[in-house]
Chains A and B, each alone.
Chain A
């Protein structure tokens, strides 16, 4: 029978085909099982990067200056969202999305490799966030998520020193998964940038089960690597003093540096005006940034570390000490100030045109007599002034562990030849002796100089708290010489005729005296012609042309503990704009000294009685 034969033939073929199916099944499920099991696990499990908690930045008492707060955000995985525009439209029905935001999200998504989520919305309030949360299961690729975001509770007061964090640039990010993690930020300036390594910590990973749509079904914490939070960083700054100083100088373009004269701890490092660093964290608007950049008072510039100014008369103490140390003048010797001195064919004027008469070192410091220091400088020569200035920490930028601290200039013959290819002139020695000319110092330099004057120790400024730092060595000056200068500096504030006697008259704390020195750095020389035309004083000049005012001081005068240096740009003479804020900061430090209730107060009063 043909039918049966062909049926059998066909059946044989059918059996062969089924055999092939079985063989295929065997190959897949038995021979290649291991390979497919791995691929299945790859599908099923994902390791999510868990960004580390950034270390906090604390002040010396543990008060947080930079901390982390929860931010409710919405991420979008472009690959899963498919039509991103449509997803944003639907998301926009729940939470308003501005055109600018939309633009940013689309740009970010176009740069993302598709599987990597981009931050769509950040810092949502709870209501908006829960609305998105509720609808998220219907919105493919939309992931509501809570992440930590940097927060600076004290805002502008610390803006320069603490700096801020921002999302890394393309170059920063490279191929680092952590840096490319949505919402991850790195230190962009200040301490945040300088100590990135300490603060960042190490990313962990969370093993999760994901479905084909990328949605996390289950977390498997026991098979995950926890993140290692960054270390908290303790600074030497005193949040109270910093905020006080910032407020005290608000309205000015100014800088203030406060230091512990024994340890070198920086207690305040202020530059005004500041800016709100929180704006930079979440993305500052173009107009707001433009406004900061175009502000005449330069809020983005850290004047305390990067502004350099001639130290002016605050430098006279150094000139004086150099002369005393060199034995070129003594306590009793006087110089007669007639208001000017002639050296060669040039006349050098004292700030007091009618002159100071016969002045000794103490009087010269107290009245800031230029002629006296011209004379002393002439005797010393530039090299000795230069050497003494270096011993007081001027010149190279002090290393406080921050980027961008500017070098100052302490000139000498060699420097001038290298810089200008010219020889040194005697006149230059004279004006260097009164802190003008080529000399340049930052407010930080001034604070270090003042601290060293006050303690006699070669203290170096410190921004990072270190309880075990060794005490700085003595500079190695004759204590009697130092005593003499101290006495003069005290007289500046406390005695009639002192340059700050009328503006300050004292610290304002019972039983505690202070010492200080004014300085004014000329920005614009009032010419004889202008004088004749009626420009009499700084007040007649436009703001930008007025002198920089500076004031350095320390207290208590008899047993120094704190030094403060302030520079008020275009603030007129030092006794005007700079002295009072500096004194007030100093007073704040004394009044809030943690040891004031104890031995410190006793020490102060004890000395006066004794």
Chain B
């Protein structure tokens, strides 16, 4: 590891030297776990998932390193335009979006199909980081410090919820909330917000959700009451995990997954498949990997000088952690089925790129941890 230096590396070589390669290795392990499981999902074939997952991971890795090497000033400059761009895309989805499986989440821009809500996950983090970076400490609990973040979080959340994509909306809100908390917001205001949420959430459940979303939440509460209906996925997932036991049924030997009792196992339920084939040992190993990655991120955040980098790192790490928690919690029947993938392991291009882009920012923050970033006037002073 790098010797402790108070300077920011300026050469490419120096920057590459400062890259946290241990973290890169951990991410590669997660990606490899994904490739292995996707190979198993296809009954021991590289097609159709494993090869493409590997390719995307490789592409994402390169992108991550490029992001990491770019100066943080660039990202700071980009944060508001990126946020506005993402917001525009979300509005685009609202009017020109592609409907897939009943949800309007996709936008076709020429040959590329993008999911603006994924872009927004990073954009909202960068925008908030930039906002708090520019905001004088004493104004954090003032009207600007409260209302602007509320708007920054609220606008995309409402648009995403309307797609409807409850999982991503909650993710954006939760990540934003964590950043607001880390900004040093007054505990009194936090307390008031908690009370407000306690009132608002039941109302949101009643009026703000699609039928299928409400149903998912209710069957989550008692999945075994409806084994062939909506609780089916959760129950089958628990059976798969439970029957895996301590060491699992063996690679390619998961009966629940290979006989198709397990739904969507290449995406949302890949942790279940891993748990079935590698047992408690495998499941704990993956959770531990994630925890170590997160610990690294937290360490990087605390070592950064500038608020922008601290906030960015914590924002990305929070999104990442929430992915893991919601996904594993969901497949273990602790949370409702909301359709959140397991980062780097689940099949899916957009999420992979979002996550690796985010880790590019984290790695970059580590490289440039000692950079002094000037406070700008900010959008709202």
Q: Chain A interface (Cβ within 8 Å of chain B)?
A: 2-4, 6-7, 10-11, 14-15, 17-18, 20-22, 24-26, 28-30, 32-33, 35-37, 39-41, 43-44, 209-213, 217
Contacts and interface: CB of A to CB of B under 8 A. Distances in A.
Interface in B236-271: 236, 238-246, 255-256, 259-261
B239 A36 contact: yes
A24 B260 contact: no
A412 B332 CA distance: 87
B245 A37 contact: yes
Interface string B279-316: 11001100100110011001001100001001000100
Given A3-B310, A6-B181, A7-B182, A21 B287 contact: yes
Given A24-B334, A213-B260, A40 B181 contact: no
A39 B260 CA distance: 15
Nearest to A20: B334
Given A10-B181, A21-B287, A212-B261, A44 B255 contact: yes
10 contacts: A7-B302, A11-B294, A14-B321, A18-B291, A28-B332, A29-B283, A39-B243, A40-B255, A212-B261, A217-B259
B182 A21 contact: no
A21 B298 contact: no
B280 A25 contact: yes
B40 interface: no
A210 B240 CA distance: 15
Given A6-B182, A7-B314, A26-B280, A33 B332 contact: no
A40 B241 CA distance: 10
B31 interface: no
Contacts of B244: 29, 33
Given A7-B182, A21-B325, A217-B259, A40 B243 contact: yes
Contacts of A11: 294-295, 298
Contacts of B332: 21, 24-25, 28
A6 B178 CA distance: 10
A37 B243 CA distance: 4
Contact of B241 (A25, A209, A210): A25
A26 B240 CA distance: 14
Q: Closest 9 CB pairs between A and B?
A: A36-B242, A40-B243, A212-B260, A29-B280, A211-B259, A2-B184, A37-B243, A33-B245, A212-B261
B328 interface: yes
Contact of B279 (A7, A29, A32): A29
A21 B331 CA distance: 11
A40 B255 CA distance: 8
- In this complex, which of A20, A29, A35 has the most chain B Cβ atoms within 10 angstroms of its Cβ? A29
Contacts of A22: 284, 287
Given A10-B181, A21-B287, 16 more contacts: A7-B301, A7-B314, A20-B334, A21-B325, A21-B329, A24-B329, A25-B328, A30-B246, A33-B244, A36-B243, A37-B242, A41-B243, A43-B256, A43-B261, A211-B259, A213-B260
Nearest to B254: A40
A32 B246 CA distance: 11
A4 B280 contact: no
A28 B242 contact: yes
Contacts of B358: none
Contacts of A217: 259
Contacts of B236: 43
B275 interface: yes
A40 B328 CA distance: 20
Interface of B: 178, 181-182, 184, 236, 238-246, 255-256, 259-261, 275, 279-280, 283-284, 287, 290-291, 294-295, 298, 301-302, 307, 310, 314, 318, 321, 325, 328-329, 332, 334
A440 B260 CA distance: 71
A30 B307 contact: no
B283 to A, nearest CB: 5
A357 B133 CA distance: 144
Contact of A40 (B182, B240, B246): B240
A2 B240 CA distance: 44
Contacts of A39: 239, 242-243
B259 A209 contact: yes
A16 to B, nearest CB: 11
A15 B259 contact: no
A214 to B, nearest CB: 10
B306 to A, nearest CB: 11
Contact of A43 (B184, B239, B295, B302): B239
A4 B302 contact: yes
B275 A25 contact: yes
Contacts of B328: 21, 25
B269 to A, nearest CB: 13
Contacts of A25: 241, 275, 280, 283-284, 287, 328, 332
A32 B184 contact: no
A217 B261 CA distance: 13
Given A3-B310, A11-B298, A44-B255, A29 B182 contact: no
Contacts of A37: 242-243, 245
Contacts of A210: 259
Contacts of A29: 241-242, 244-246, 275, 279-280, 283
B294 to A, nearest CB: 6
Nearest to B245: A33
B325 A211 contact: no
A29 B332 CA distance: 10
Contact of B243 (A15, A26, A33, A212): A33
- In this complex, which of A15, A41, A43, A210 has the most chain B Cβ atoms within 10 angstroms of its Cβ? A43
A10 B178 contact: yes
A458 B236 CA distance: 72
Contacts of A36: 238-243
Nearest to A21: B328
Contacts of A26: 280
Nearest to B242: A36
A209 B253 CA distance: 13
Nearest to B244: A29
